[in-house]
């Protein structure tokens, strides 16, 4: 038999990546002007009421945790402030407590600058990564463009609250977005996601996303990074690590009662509406599991269709949706969805996208209603009216489910058009 008869078939080359796009000049200047206006007005509000707009309560609690680390005192045995269980308890990993240790050395204006300016810089980096995932050219112009976009996102309620509290949510989102923007061929892809999960466990959902999109090396690297953060915690804080991993991480009562009106998660909605006794708790768990799996399925299809930002954003929303406890400021992934919708609205005849953008912005905006004369800053705080309160008091949850449904319908329509 000749050698030619057993030659392997020629490998089919993978589809070439689309050429990176330039930011359209009109969009650049319009966003620059709007961002300057939005950022300037936000700064005006901040200077007029620093105590409300930049109180940095949570960053102050992180500082206490960091001081406890330096003093050799447990961060889990007692609340960081006061003596009431479920109030101001430390709910993050021992590794995160180590990262907070440098905060113990900051005071006064330096502390406020780290909280305010630092969070905005991290937000701008996250915006840059989101735009990079939309395949824009990664040049100086994109870095400059990220600043006014970040300024616009200051009017997104979860981002606005994260800035006010000095929370870690923007940092976690940015770590994941930057990681996703790295090429799949990069051997270190997954490290940043693992570190994010090592600070707060919910980003571990993205390890499943790596697996579903067949990026097995990135999934392994991410899981390995998460394990490494746990090992570091055991080496430096053995007592706290035993407490945390023995069950404290799975105890939502350390955050508060699930029916708290500020618990904008699926579990919170169940607790407030029908309770979590008996079979209702099982139903909540099953619904959460179904929505998580549905999200991963949709994200897989989107990723394979080169819609990476939308895929990652849906996963980010899912982590907050199915988490046992989600404050409003945990929903920072709405900012990433707004970026995707803004980009999609640049296409011709994108009427449906514009409607989706307006609805999303109305639901997730913060402070805009007060500019229009309303006493409420967000739809989440509207007074209850008949039975409609279950809709707008849980608006983030319903909007997430609608987003999943719309994406599913679009993918189904796309599949039908190709068949």
CB-based burial of residue 278 (10 Å sphere; 0-12 exposed, 13-18 middle, 19+ buried)? exposed
Question: If you average pLDDT over residues 122-129, what whole number do you get?
Answer: 98
Question: If you average pLDDT over residues 71-80, what whole number do you get?
Answer: 94
Max Cα–Cα distance, the chain, nearest Å: 86
| Domain-embedded: residue 228 | yes
pLDDT for the residue 95? 98
CB-based burial of residue 135 (10 Å sphere; 0-12 exposed, 13-18 middle, 19+ buried)? middle
What sign does the dihedral 122-231-317-272 (CA atoms) show?
negative
For 55, the token pair is 């109180």
**Domains in the chain: how many in total?**
1
Tens of pLDDT, residues 25-35: 999 999 999 99
pLDDT for the residue 82? 79
Q: Which residues contact 131 (CB under 8 A, 6 or more apart)?
A: 142, 145, 146, 149, 339, 343
Tens of pLDDT, residues 200-227: 999 999 999 999 999 999 999 999 999 9
Q: In what helix (H) or strand (E) does residue 412 lie, and over which residues does it extend?
A: helix 395-418
HSE at residue 194, side-chain half, CA atoms within 13 A, is: 19
Q: Which residues contact 418 (CB under 8 A, 6 or more apart)?
A: none
| Domain-embedded: residue 4 | no
What sign does the dihedral 162-163-169-173 (CA atoms) show?
positive
Percent of the chain with pLDDT over 90: 77
| Domain-embedded: residue 372 | yes
| Domain-embedded: residue 16 | no
Tens of pLDDT, residues 397-412: 999 999 999 999 999 9
Tens of pLDDT, residues 33-45: 999 999 999 999 9
**pLDDT at residue 272 greater than cutoff 50:** yes
Q: At what angle do helices 140-153 and 25-48 cross, to 10 degrees?
A: 40
Q: Distance between CA 1 and CA 9 in Å, rounded?
A: 17
Question: When comparing pLDDT for 83 and 294, which is higher?
Answer: 294
Give the structural domain span for 118. 24-418
Tokens 């009106």 -> residue: 261
CB-based burial of residue 34 (10 Å sphere; 0-12 exposed, 13-18 middle, 19+ buried)? middle
Are 117 and 147 within 8 A, CB to CB? no
């Amino acid at each position: 038999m000749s050698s030619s008869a057993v030659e392997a078939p020629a490998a089919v080359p993978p589809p070439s990546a689309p050429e990176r796009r330039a930011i359209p000049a009109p969009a650049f200047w319009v966003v620059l002007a709007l961002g300057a206006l939005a950022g300037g007005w936000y700064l005006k509000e901040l200077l007029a009421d620093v105590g409300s707009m930049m109180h940095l309560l949570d960053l102050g609690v992180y500082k206490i945790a960091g001081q406890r680390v330096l003093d050799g005192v447990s961060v889990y045995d007692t609340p960081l402030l006061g003596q009431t269980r479920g109030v101001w308890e430390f709910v993050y990993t021992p590794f995160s407590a180590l990262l907070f240790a440098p905060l113990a050395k900051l005071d006064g204006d330096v502390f406020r600058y780290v909280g305010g300016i630092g969070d905005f810089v991290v937000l701008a980096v996250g915006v840059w990564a989101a735009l990079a995932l939309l395949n824009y050219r990664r040049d100086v112009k994109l870095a400059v463009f990220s600043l006014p976009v970040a300024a616009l996102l200051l009017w997104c309620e979860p981002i606005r609250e994260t800035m006010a509290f000095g929370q870690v949510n923007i940092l976690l989102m940015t770590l994941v977005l930057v990681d996703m923007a790295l090429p799949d061929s990069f051997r270190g892809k997954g490290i940043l996601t693992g570190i994010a999960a090592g600070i707060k466990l919910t980003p571990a959902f993205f390890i499943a996303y790596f697996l579903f999109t067949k990026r097995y090396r990135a999934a392994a690297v991410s899981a390995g990074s998460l394990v490494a953060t746990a090992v570091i915690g055991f080496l430096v804080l053995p007592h706290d690590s035993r407490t945390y991993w023995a069950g404290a991480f799975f105890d939502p009562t350390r955050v508060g009662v699930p029916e708290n009106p500020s618990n904008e998660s699926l579990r919170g909605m169940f607790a407030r509406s029908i309770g979590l006794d008996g079979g209702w708790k099982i139903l909540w768990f099953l619904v959460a599991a179904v929505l998580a799996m549905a999200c991963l399925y949709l994200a897989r299809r989107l990723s394979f269709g080169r819609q990476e930002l939308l895929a990652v954003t849906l996963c980010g929303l899912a982590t907050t949706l199915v988490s046992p406890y989600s404050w409003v400021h945990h929903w920072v992934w709405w900012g990433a969805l707004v970026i995707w919708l803004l980009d999609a609205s640049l296409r011709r005849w994108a009427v449906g996208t514009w409607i989706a953008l307006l609805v999303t912005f109305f639901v997730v905006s913060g402070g805009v209603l007060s500019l229009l004369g309303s006493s409420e800053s967000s739809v989440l705080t509207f007074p209850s009216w008949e039975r409609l309160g279950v809709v707008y008091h849980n608006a983030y949850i319903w909007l997430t489910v609608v987003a999943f449904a719309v994406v599913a319908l679009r993918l189904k329509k796309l599949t039908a058009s190709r068949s």
